[in-house]
Structure 1
Amino acid sequence: MNGRARVLAAGLVVLVTAGLGGCSAGAAASAVPASPGGPGSSSSSQPSPSTATATPSPTPSAAMRHRAEFPVVTREQQNRLYAEVRLAGMTLEQKIASLFMVHVGGPDPAATRAYLEANGIAGVLLLGDNVPGGTDQTAAYTEALRSGTPGSGGSVGLGTLVAIDEEGGIVARLQADTYPSAETLKTEPVAATTDAFRQRAALLDATGMSVNFGVVADVTGDPSSFIYERALGTDARSASERVAAAVEAEQGAVFSTLKHFPGHGAAAGDSHSSVPTTDLPLDTWRSEDAPPFAAGIGAGAELVMFGHLVYSSVDAAPASLSRPWHDILRDELGFEGVAVTDDLLMLEASGVPAYADRTANAIAAIGAGNDILLYNTTVDVPQLVASIAWAVRSGQLSAETVDEAALRTLELRRELWLEQNPHAAG
């Protein structure tokens, strides 16, 4: 452990100790008797002739004084400091590897776990080929991933992010998900969205999922749109209400993800095979497409997925590779969580020559401000990590940008680990 890591570790011990002890300071203070002349006592400072000399107030113990000097430390603050300690002890290559989430095909968890252990990545994306069976079989699969050895995505103190696309309807990986989807929920009362996503979240929790790429915050009233069947609303208001309801329903069961920022509704076309483009003015976006994302963020969504969508009024690059769009998400919408790309292999399949290079896309995605790079099949992580590390060392990519991304991802994984190990939270 280097010098900075030792300092941070010492700070973590102090803050956690203070956080655990801070609640008792107020109680201890209230137990100290009121001094003469205080509230409820005689206004005279002289003892009454009929009473004995007052007993001096007890002196607070050193431990009580120590606790009173520190504020209560929140869980989020503890997670942040823990993540900083872990980050300080990581090499550049380890930091970069921790930004990857990859799909490993097949129902054998041993292969997926081996990939996690070999590459040190943040987590995995599960698709239908991973979970062809029922709830019990799926739960056994994810449990095997959680029991990974130290050094893998399941290392002590950090959870393995196990993500799945579970919107319901046409985008559902789990056989047991028969709950209503956006196709019908958009026409029903908001309470129906709450009920459907609460049941879906319970299923995800029971099967061991930790991240749901399942809350579509796109807006469109056009039935011919690629995203129409999956959108929760046909206008800003209806979509916002249902997006917030979906996120709130998932809280405590699975981390929620809003997608596909800044919105697929205004950009015609299928981003799986093209780069949909729109010239929609930014002010129009703010009033028509931004509200559902803002509502989901306000409801507590932990992640936002960036779409491969070009809004030419803001940037010529797809939002997934755009620093201006990441700045808008954080500065205008106030998002402080984890930014994840949509599957980066989709860009390669778009037919646009500028996005045909896998390494260039990965470097651009981190430079734009993404915290997790998503791939829907296995990729050569060591080769990509080496190329990204070279970009950092050559000055093409900022080391601080890598640190910021790794820190946010580590914080999320720390929170996951504490939820999976509640006894460790104190």
Structure 2
Amino acid sequence: MRILRSLALLATGAAMLVAPVACAPAPVDRPGAGAADRSAGASRPGEHAAPRASSPVEARHQRAVELVASATTRENVASILMATAPGTDPDALGRFMAEHGLGGFILMGDNVPATPEGLAAVTAALSVDPEFPALIAIDEEGGAVTRLPWDDLPGADTLKHDDAAAAEQAFAGRAALLADAGANVNFGIVADITDDPGSFIFPRALGTAPADSAARVAAAVRGEQGRVFSTLKHFPGHGAAPGDSHAQIPRSAQTPMEWQAHTAPPFRAGIDAGAELLMFGHLEFPAIDAAPASLSAEWHRRAREELGFAGVAVTDDLGMLLASGVDAYRDPVRNAAAALAAGNDLIVLIAGADEATLAATIDGLTTEVEAGRIPRERLEEAAVRVAELRLEARARDDAHSGTAPSLGDGAADH
């Protein structure tokens, strides 16, 4: 099924300004893209099956296409959502994932027991079907943002004063801690730049200038490779947009040329190093697009076409939009629909997302797709990308446990 380059404008109400929505273009082939790579002959959902894949990457893509094609619209919608629930009771958290059919779970501080063994029990319960594991994410940056009590490795507050090799070593150790505890996605690599000590993001940024930040970001990605999936955040760059995006929509006055020269280099370096996910922030760059990047088709186009990103585009927590005080973003279902239409593949719901809101979001997105207001191709594209990453997570687990990977009948439909 051909991926559309341009979608119709999503009707989000007169108060909400959203750029013309568009499907992200087909990913650009590049070395190191991992699960995000596309084979030239692989089929899209709804097309005739391609010939048997000749590489593990192609096999994962082919299997992901089959899974998405066999799923219902609602199942595919749930598969691109990542949410959370309170507590550390494995049985309760497992039921939460099974009841909603979610593709991912984000571990918050409340979900982390006192020991690695306790966390491993939690993460094991979150993957309802071990053959098709959920994406289990955590914000483990180190330093100012540390969820694991046993993570004493240096964070950006000290790494920004050291060479790139120190960042690689720290994130390699951090990735090992996460993988051993069953997490497979780290929302941990801050690619933002600022030299302002008063900035909200300063303690978490890996550098104060484009070149040194880019070197450390790329090194952090290399350190995590093979153990957890790396996420670059907060695209297109929180350091250029003063303020805290948890409580407002920070705005940058940067022009496109200024963004390319000063803010983009760490993201480009992390993408070139093989980062599998790119997190889109709730940040406005009016000279480029009036909509926040998380809801902007233009920013997704730039990530794909200008930076060559071929992986999973993930939103920052959409609950942060609810807390921004902007009337246009008070409807969580509308925010999720705009995020999907703009080009996000994985939608994160934390703040304000109780189970009723989560169920309403699944219902609302399903209705939007079935009514044609969000093209089915956009949902299927997102679901395939997420499914590929989940299949790669299974392959990595198999590689570390010494068992043979299974991409055939063992992977259950979702």
Which TM class, normalised by the smaller chain length? 0.7 to 0.9
- Counterpart of 1:15? 52
Which of 155, 164, 186 matches 2:138?
164
Which of 99, 111, 133 matches 2:114?
133
Q: Deviations over 1:153-211 (max 9, x none)?
A: x363x211110000001100000111111001101121111111111111111111100
Extract unaligned runs of 5+ from structure 1. 17-72, 149-153
Q: Are residues 1:266 and 2:240 paired?
A: yes
TM-score, length basis structure 1: 0.81
Q: CA deviation at 1:379?
A: 3.8
- Counterpart of 2:348? 374
Q: CA deviation at 1:375?
A: 1.3
Q: CA deviation at 1:7?
A: 5.1
Q: Within 5 A, what are the aligned runs for 1:77-226?
A: 77-146=58-127, 148=128, 154=129, 156=131, 158-226=132-200
Q: Deviations over 1:249-275 (max 9, x none)?
A: 000110000000000011000000000
Q: Are residues 1:407 and 2:384 paired?
A: yes
SS in 2 for 1:396: coil
TM-score, length basis structure 2: 0.83
Q: CA deviation at 1:6?
A: 10
Q: Which amino acid aligns with 2:52?
A: L
Runs of 4 or more consecutive aligned structure 1 residues displaced over 6 Å after TM superposition = none
Q: Which amino acid aligns with 1:400?
A: E
Aligned mates of 2:393, 2:221 — CA distance in 1: 17
Q: Which amino acid aligns with 1:411?
A: E
Aligned mates of 2:141, 2:317 — CA distance in 1: 16
SS in 2 for 1:311: coil
Which of 385, 396, 400 matches 2:373?
396
Higher relative contact order (CA 8 A, sep 6+): 2
Equivalences, count: 356
Q: Are residues 1:425 and 2:405 paired?
A: yes
Residues 102, 378 of structure 1: 8 Å contact kept: no
Q: Deviations over 1:99-144 (max 9, x none)?
A: 1000111011211111111111111000111113111211222123
- Counterpart of 2:261? 287
Q: Deviations over 1:360-413 (max 9, x none)?
A: 101000001001110125443332122112222333211111111111001111
Report percent identity of matched pairs.
Answer: 47
- Counterpart of 1:235? 209
163-172 vs 412-421, greater mean Cα deviation: 412-421
Residues 102, 379 of structure 1: 8 Å contact kept: no
**Higher Cα Rg, which structure:** 1
Specify which structure has the higher proportion of helix: 1
Aligned mates of 2:295, 2:47 — CA distance in 1: 36
Q: Are residues 1:333 and 2:370 paired?
A: no
Residues 86, 110 of structure 2: 8 Å contact kept: yes
SS in 2 for 1:215: strand
- Counterpart of 1:52? none
Residues 105, 126 of structure 2: 8 Å contact kept: no
Residues 90, 126 of structure 2: 8 Å contact kept: yes
Aligned mates of 1:277, 1:110 — CA distance in 2: 42
- Counterpart of 1:360? 334
Aligned mates of 2:120, 2:96 — CA distance in 1: 19
395-404 vs 296-305, greater mean Cα deviation: 395-404
